[in-house]
């Protein structure tokens, strides 16, 4: 029997989940400013949706899929990425129709699944936050979307990052480059990895994305795709660079970068973290343009642009850069109750406070006063309300402002009926004592 989590997965525990919430909340607010709406697609899809989109010769499809046949003999797979399912949904729900805004902009957050060798920043269940914009061929869309990703990292307080771009051009570009790349690699056929040998004629671009040492020596000297851009592809890429300059966004061009998915066209990009210790898992955001995928999955020809960020890698970056995220959960009031006879009153008090819309907690373990005050302190409670046998008899409760240590007794009726006023009064008292 094995009561351990599956290899390559994580339990995201309280204490850490707050960080996840902060990251997701920051993304939601920022994406809203850019007019993106949330989409939630199934965690599993028909195998074909992924294999057709991502490409049969990619690592993702050929090695990393969590696919299986369900009880109805359907070939399905846990989703390895977010774009293909969203394109499937876009086509299926006819979101290209005239009644929908153009471009149609969506974001998502959630788990993705890839059967990989687990290591730091590389998991089998990992999480992405991503966006997709459908309908715009304008290079300004490429640039504002990359700018949004950079804005996001800036808002989180991440500083040591680099934007790397390349162009994969259009169909004409790819055809010309394909031939040049095969011609360059063929003489070295015997020295390539088995994977690359197999892929050389099927999909030579994959060789450039190989992580195998044997292939890497040839990649460095490979012809540059930028020398094969068609006229239209050149115009698009030049416009992207010009617009990045106009926004004073610095970037590097890496003509060997091809990305691990087949669907990209024109602009592709990665945002790399230069924080120490990220190793080979330094890419925290990746994406690009995919102008033919909607058509490929049966929709009207629709240009598109998107990216995905790895949440686990963002957390590693935050840690490495020693960024402290603000705490989201503050406690307004903690109720200390002394003696069993106060149990009911304490219950009524916390519930009253919560009903007024404040956060509140209390002791339910029958602990001594000291331990309860310690809990209040640890939770960062703004107010501590104390009730013992004497107070209960008099129908009162002691309220203490933790910032100023000032105390005042209120009637229990005040708490039940006007806790908002009590809260205001105590807050004023604490502010006055600050001056």
Give the footprint of Mg ion on this chain (CB under 5 A): 260
The one among 283, 302, 337, 342 contacting ligand ATP by CB under 6 A:
283
Nearest distance, CB of residue 285 and Mg ion, angstroms: 14
Between 260 and 388, name the residue whose CB sits nearer to ligand ATP.
260
Stretch that binds ligand ATP, among 95-103, 114-122, 297-305, 334-342 (CB under 6 A): 114-122
The one among 41, 128, 166, 372 contacting ligand ATP by CB under 6 A:
128
111 binds, among Mg ion, ligand ATP, none (CB under 5 to 8 A by kind): none
346 binds, among Mg ion, ligand ATP, none (CB under 5 to 8 A by kind): none
Which residues from 312-371 bind ligand ATP, rule CB under 6 A? 312-313
The one among 19, 28, 46, 122 contacting ligand ATP by CB under 6 A:
122
Short-list 281, 259, 296, CA closest to 50: 296
How far, in Å, are 123, 320, 321 from residue 276 at the CA level? 20, 6, 8
Q: What angle do CA 43, 48, 54 make, to 5 degrees?
A: 80
150 binds, among Mg ion, ligand ATP, none (CB under 5 to 8 A by kind): none
Short-list 141, 131, 162, CA closest to 309: 131
Short-list 45, 67, 22, 285, CA closest to 163: 285
Nearest distance, CB of residue 307 and ligand ATP, angstroms: 8
The one among 114, 206, 266, 400 contacting ligand ATP by CB under 6 A:
114
The one among 260, 388, 427, 430 contacting ligand ATP by CB under 6 A:
260
Between 119 and 394, name the residue whose CB sits nearer to ligand ATP.
119
Between 95 and 149, name the residue whose CB sits nearer to ligand ATP.
149
Nearest distance, CB of residue 251 and ligand ATP, angstroms: 17
84, with CB counted inside 10 A (0-12, 13-18, 19+), is buried
Short-list 131, 161, 139, CA closest to 33: 131
Between 260 and 388, name the residue whose CB sits nearer to Mg ion.
260
What distance in Å separates the CA atoms of residue 232 and residue 169, rounded to the nearest whole number?
8
By CB under 6 A, is residue 79 in contact with ligand ATP? no
Number of alpha carbons in the 13 Å side-chain half-sphere of residue 338: 16
Closest chain position to Mg ion (CB): 260
348 binds, among Mg ion, ligand ATP, none (CB under 5 to 8 A by kind): none
Nearest distance, CB of residue 197 and Mg ion, angstroms: 20
Q: Are 287 and 269 in contact (CB under 8 A)?
A: yes
Nearest distance, CB of residue 38 and ligand ATP, angstroms: 18
Q: Are 156 and 26 in contact (CB under 8 A)?
A: yes
Short-list 110, 79, 133, CA closest to 12: 110
Between 51 and 372, name the residue whose CB sits nearer to Mg ion.
51
Between 118 and 388, name the residue whose CB sits nearer to Mg ion.
118
Please work out the total of residues on this chain that contact ligand ATP, with binding judged by CB under 6 A. Answer: 20
Backbone phi and psi for residue 214, each to the nearest 5 degrees, phi listed first: -60, -35
Between 76 and 284, name the residue whose CB sits nearer to ligand ATP.
284
Residues forming beta bridges with residue 166, ordered by sequence position? 268
The one among 81, 142, 291, 332 contacting ligand ATP by CB under 6 A:
81
337 binds, among Mg ion, ligand ATP, none (CB under 5 to 8 A by kind): none
What distance in Å separates the CA atoms of residue 309 and residue 121, rounded to the nearest whole number?
12
Nearest distance, CB of residue 306 and ligand ATP, angstroms: 10
Return all residues near 235 (Cβ < 8 A) that are at least 6 apart: none
Between 220 and 327, name the residue whose CB sits nearer to ligand ATP.
220
Between 174 and 259, name the residue whose CB sits nearer to ligand ATP.
259
Between 129 and 381, name the residue whose CB sits nearer to ligand ATP.
129
What distance in Å separates the CA atoms of residue 201 and residue 431, rounded to the nearest whole number?
73
Closest chain position to ligand ATP (CB): 310
Nearest distance, CB of residue 80 and Mg ion, angstroms: 9
Q: Catalog residues that contact ligand ATP under the rule CB under 6 A.
A: 81, 114, 116, 121-123, 126, 128, 259-260, 281, 283-286, 308-310, 312-313
């Amino acid at each position: 029997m094995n009561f351990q989590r599956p290899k390559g997965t994580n339990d995201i525990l309280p204490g850490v989940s707050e960080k996840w919430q902060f990251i997701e909340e920051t993304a939601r607010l920022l994406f809203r400013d850019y007019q993106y709406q949330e989409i939630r697609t199934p965690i599993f899809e028909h195998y074909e949706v992924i294999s057709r989109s991502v490409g049969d010769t990619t690592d993702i499809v050929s090695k990393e899929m969590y696919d299986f046949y369900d009880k109805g003999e359907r070939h399905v797979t846990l989703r390895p990425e977010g774009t293909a399912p969203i394109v499937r949904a876009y086509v299926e729900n006819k979101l290209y129709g005239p009644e929908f805004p153009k471009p149609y902009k969506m974001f998502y957050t959630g788990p993705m699944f890839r059967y990989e060798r687990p290591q730091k920043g590389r998991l089998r269940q990992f999480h992405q936050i991503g966006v997709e914009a459908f309908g715009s061929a304008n290079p300004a869309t490429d640039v504002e979307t990359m700018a949004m990703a950079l804005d996001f990292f800036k808002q989180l307080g991440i500083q040591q990052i680099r934007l790397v771009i390349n162009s994969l051009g259009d169909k004409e570009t790819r055809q010309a480059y394909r031939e040049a790349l095969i011609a360059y690699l063929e003489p070295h056929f015997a020295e390539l990895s088995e994977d690359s040998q197999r892929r050389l004629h099927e999909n030579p671009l994959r060789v450039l994305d190989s992580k195998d040492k044997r292939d890497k020596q040839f990649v460095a000297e490979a012809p540059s795709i930028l020398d094969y851009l068609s006229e239209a592809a050149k115009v698009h890429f030049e416009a992207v660079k010009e617009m990045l300059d106009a926004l004073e966004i610095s970037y590097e061009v890496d003509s060997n970068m091809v990305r691990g998915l087949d669907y990209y066209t024109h602009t592709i990009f990665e945002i790399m973290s230069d924080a120490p210790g990220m190793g080979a898992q330094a890419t925290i955001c990746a994406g690009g343009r995919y102008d033919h995928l909607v058509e490929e999955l049966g929709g009207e020809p629709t240009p598109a642009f998107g990216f995905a960020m790895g949440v686990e890698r963002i957390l590693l970056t935050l840690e490495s850069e020693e960024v402290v995220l603000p705490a989201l959960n503050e406690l307004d009031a903690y109720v200390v109750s002394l003696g069993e006879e106060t149990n009911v009153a304490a219950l009524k008090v916390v519930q009253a406070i919560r009903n007024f819309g404040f956060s509140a907690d209390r002791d339910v373990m029958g602990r001594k006063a000291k331990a309860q005050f310690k809990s209040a302190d640890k939770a960062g409670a703004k107010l501590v309300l104390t009730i013992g046998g004497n107070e209960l008899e008099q129908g009162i409760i002691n309220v203490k402002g933790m910032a100023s240590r000032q105390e005042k007794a209120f009637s229990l009726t005040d708490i039940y009926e006007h806790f908002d006023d009590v809260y205001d009064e105590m807050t004023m008292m604490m502010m006055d004592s600050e001056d």
